[in-house]
């Protein structure tokens, strides 16, 4: 079997196509800023352009993603935010509805939407997953929406 990426040839570039949208819940401003930094890096590395729109929190992300998807000017939408568990069941409702709503938007419109919402128990976990020592969920959301937009283009 032949190596598809011989040592002297670099692997293919990451997908770069078009203009993307970012919707970000600003309830936890520090986390939102870190997530936007990550998604910006992913889009910049891919040579993609993007626009950022703020909403109050994670619960509002699906409607903002729908508004943006319906404009027809974006190849995909990265949805970013954070929900940290408190003492009530509010966390469960917000997480579930944000996830369901974002999925509904992409299935209804055909515009890829990445779920870059941190759903965590503590602020420490959120910091670790927003460019800290565990992962960069903003960057990952950018990678996901880039790949899904490329797949959509390939299959069109």
Contact criterion met (CB below 8 Å) for 123 and 34: no
Which of 19, 53, 90, 140 is the catalytic position? 90
Give Rg (Cα) of the chain.
16
HEC secondary structure over 29-98: HHHHHHHHHHHHHHHHHHCCEEEEEEECCHHHHHHHHHHHHHHCCCCCEEEEEEEECCCCCHHHHHHHHH
**Known catalytic membership, residue 134:** no
Active-site residue set:
90
């Amino acid at each position: 079997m032949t190596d598809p990426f011989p040592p002297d040839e670099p692997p293919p570039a990451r997908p770069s196509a078009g203009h993307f949208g970012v919707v970000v819940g600003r309830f936890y401003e520090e986390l939102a800023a870190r997530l936007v930094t990550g998604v910006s890096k992913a889009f910049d590395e891919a040579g993609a352009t993007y626009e950022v729109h703020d909403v109050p929190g994670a619960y509002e992300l699906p409607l903002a993603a729908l508004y943006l998807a319906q404009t027809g000017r974006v190849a995909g939408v990265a949805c970013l935010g954070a929900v940290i568990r408190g003492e009530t069941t509010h966390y469960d409702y917000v997480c579930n509805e944000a996830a369901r709503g974002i999925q509904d938007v992409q299935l209804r419109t055909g515009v890829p939407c990445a779920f870059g919402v941190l759903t965590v128990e503590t602020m420490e976990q959120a910091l670790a997953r927003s460019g800290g020592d565990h992962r960069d969920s903003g960057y990952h959301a950018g990678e996901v929406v880039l790949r899904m937009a490329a797949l959509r283009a390939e299959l069109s």
